[in-house]
Amino acid sequence: MRGHSLEIVAIPCQAILVGERFRKDHGDLGALAASIASEGLLQPVGITEENLLVFGERRLLAVRDVLKRATITARIVRVSSILAGEYAENEIRKQFTESERVAIADAVKAALGNRQGQRTDIGPPRNCAEVEQGTEVGGLAETQLGENIPEVQAGARTAEIAARKAGFGNRKTYEQARKVVEKAVGEVLTQMDAGDLSISAAAMIAEQSPERQIEIAQLPKEEKKAEVRKLRRQDLPTPAEARREALESGLAILDRNLTYQLPTPESQRPVVERNYAAMAVLDGVRAIATCHYPAPDIAAAIGSLDTPDVDFAGSCRQAAAFLEAINQEIEHHEGN
């Protein structure tokens, strides 16, 4: 399996070629160097067979420029083997962090596009007049590549193939992780790589200012989740925008108030909203009717939830009065 394994080697630092990188701010390399000096290099850098750096620039700089070491441990990432499917996507997912898989996906994407002289955002090589038979992509003949990657024959987009080959579920997840690599401060990137932040949550935080990112990253776990939920809500359309989108698409659209705007003409809207309100009340009544806890326990729980800004007990009294009014109205109609 040596031909396509992810081999680990010791390589002279000066032999590693560093191309154009996303991240310009390398953060505190001194702290990283101190950690490497005391704990060792826990994760090797990644290079191609041509010694081009794939991931781990901060580690390389810390070892080469701060610690002044001549060699560094590197993992050889054979892009051609990944393209050919000789290394399973789930194995890549297990062995690399999210940011490293972004770098691998970028390398795969470049191999699919650049080596055949096409734009990388159009699509992968495929059996058509645009690519001559025998064209090599990442060291593989085009016909061989087509046999190993069914998506190529189907005309799937390059980024989608690169995402899956790097262990991402789909292109959207890859692009979210890429956004984190490009925009996030070190704390957010580290938390994503450690699994403390999901890719989608980290991408949401990465859209904020650096100062705000640091503030969110330093919050306790539950408070951080609450902040991410707020950010997701801000990403939703306003009620007016959601209403317009609903009418255009014919679908119910969730707005930032967490209310669904319905695809109904204005004349029918009161009827639909009334029916939805009735369904919401019925759902609440069913939940209460099936509750097996005695009323004193529920009352005690409600009392413990009371806060100065939210009057739970008052809301319960209003709800009880509303249900009693509904009950009287139903009895009135049944009596007639």
> Is residue 98 pLDDT above 90, yes or no?
yes
Q: What pLDDT is recorded for position 197?
A: 92
**Strand 8-12 to 45-47 pairing:** unpaired
pLDDT tens across 15-54, in order? 999 877 655 567 778 888 998 999 888 889 999 888 999 9
Residue 61's pLDDT band, with cuts at 50, 70 and 90, is very high
pLDDT tens across 190-223, in order? 999 999 999 999 999 999 999 999 999 999 988 9
pLDDT tens across 160-175, in order? 889 989 989 888 899 9
